[in-house]
A and B are shown apart, each in its own frame.
Chain A
Amino acid sequence: MDELELLKKDWQKKGEQLPKLTYDDIHRMTWKKSSSIVKWILIISILEIIIPNLLYLIPSFRQSMSIYENTVVDQYFMGMTVVYYLVVFYFIYLFYKRYKEISVLDSAKGLMRKIIRTRRTVKYYVIFSLSTILVFIAIVIIGIYLNDSFMDNFTELAGDSKEVSPEKLKTTLMVSMAILGVVLTAFFGGIYFLLYGLLLRKLKSNYKELKKLEV
C-alpha cells in the first residue's frame, strides 16, 4: 500500500519533532509512583478482601452474636467461621499467586489474560462473601424462628405493647431481616460489579479483539 509506505517514511523522520527529555527529567520519573491499572486492582482487591471481615470486628456485631451462645446455631457458626476463613485464606493465596504472575514483559494478550484472571479470583471471592452474608442472615432468621427466649428479649425492648402478638412480631422481624439481607447483598454486589466493570472495560474489549483473531 503506497500511502502506508509514505507514512512509514515520514514516521521515521519524526525524531526531530518529538519532545526531548533530559537525563534528570527521566531520572526523576523513575522515582515516581505508578498509577497503573494493576496497582488499582491490587488496592481495590485488598479492600474487597478485608471489608467483609471487618464486620466481625464491630463490637455490637459480636454482642448480637452472643445471643446464640450455647445453642445449636452457635455450633453452626463456629463450623462456618472455620470453613469461611479457610476459604478466605485460600483466596488470598490464589490472588497473591496470580498477582505475582502479572508481568509487563508478557505479550499484550498474555498480560491481559493474567490481569483478567487475577481479577476473576477476586470476583469469585466477592460472590463467595456475598453468599456468606446471605447464609449468615438465613441462619439468624432460623435462629429467631427456633429460639423463643430471643423473642422475650425483643418484646422487653419493644415495651409492653400488647397490641402486637409475639407471633406477628416474630414474622415481621424475620421478613425484615430477609429484606435487609437481600438489599445489603445487592448493594455490595452492585458496588463491586460497578468497580469491576469500570476497571476492566477497556482491557476486556481489547482482549476480546485479540482473542477473536485466534478463532
Chain B
Amino acid sequence: MNKELEHQFVTELENNQNIVHKVCTLYTNDRDSHNDLFQEITIQLWKAYPKFRGESKFSTWMYRVALNTAITLYRKSKRRVRTQDYESVIFKIKADEYDATEEEQLKLMYKAVKQLGDIDKALVFLYLEDKDYREISETLGISEVNARVKMNRVKKKLRTVLNP
C-alpha cells in the first residue's frame, strides 16, 4: 500500500476526527461501541480513500461515508451495556455557561435526539452540522423537498418530547 497515501489519509482523518466522533456519539450508547464504530468508519474511509479525488473537501466526503457506515454497514456489537456515565460525559454541559432551564432543555433535547430512528438521527446530525438541504438530500438519497418535509416531522417529534 502506498505509504504516502496512507500518511495523507491518517493526517486528514486526525484533523477531522470530530466529525466521526460526533456520528459515533449519536449512534452508540457506550464507549466500547463508540470505539467499534469509529474503527469501522475508519476502515471504510480508508478503503474508499483511493477514490477520493479531492473534488470535494475531505470533511464533506467524510460525512457520507461515516453516516453510511453508522446507518447501514455497522453491525452493533453484542455488548449492550448502557453506561449512563458515558452520555453524561459526552453531553456534559458546564453549569456556569448556561442558566438551569437552558441546561435542562439541552439535556432533554440530546436525550430526545438519541431516541430517534437511524434516518431521523442522520437528518438532525446534518442539520446540526449546518448542512444545507441540498447536501442533506444528496447524502440520504431523497429529494430536497422530501428532506424538508422529513426534517419538519423530526422537529415536530422533538417538540412533542420537550413540551408534552
Binding site for B on A (CB under 8 A): 1, 3-4, 6-8, 10-12, 14-15, 17-23, 26-27, 29-30, 32-38, 40, 103-112, 115, 202-203, 206, 209-210, 213-214
Contacts and interface: CB of A to CB of B under 8 A. Distances in A.
Q: Chain B, interface size: which category?
A: 35 or more
B65 A210 contact: no
Nearest to A30: B46
Given A7-B128, A11-B128, A18-B25, A111 B72 contact: yes
A105 B65 contact: yes
B159 A3 contact: yes
A211 B145 CA distance: 14
A10 B25 CA distance: 14
Given A18-B25, A23-B10, A115-B72, A3 B109 contact: yes
B64 interface: yes
A209 B117 contact: yes
Nearest to B143: A214
Nearest to A20: B17
SS of B interface (majority) = helix
A179 B5 CA distance: 60
Given A18-B17, A35-B75, A104-B65, 18 more contacts: A4-B155, A7-B106, A8-B130, A14-B18, A18-B18, A20-B17, A26-B14, A29-B42, A29-B43, A30-B6, A34-B44, A36-B40, A36-B43, A37-B74, A40-B75, A104-B64, A108-B141, A214-B142
Interface in B119-164: 119, 122, 127-130, 138-143, 146, 149-150, 155, 158-159, 162
Given A10-B106, A111-B72, A3 B141 contact: no
Given A15-B18, A18-B21, A104 B48 contact: yes
6 contacts: A4-B127, A7-B106, A23-B14, A30-B43, A206-B72, A213-B150
B34 to A, nearest CB: 8
Interface in B6-35: 6, 9-11, 13-14, 17-18, 21-22, 25, 34
Closest 6 CB pairs of A and B: A107-B141, A109-B141, A36-B73, A29-B42, A18-B21, A11-B128
A108 B92 contact: no
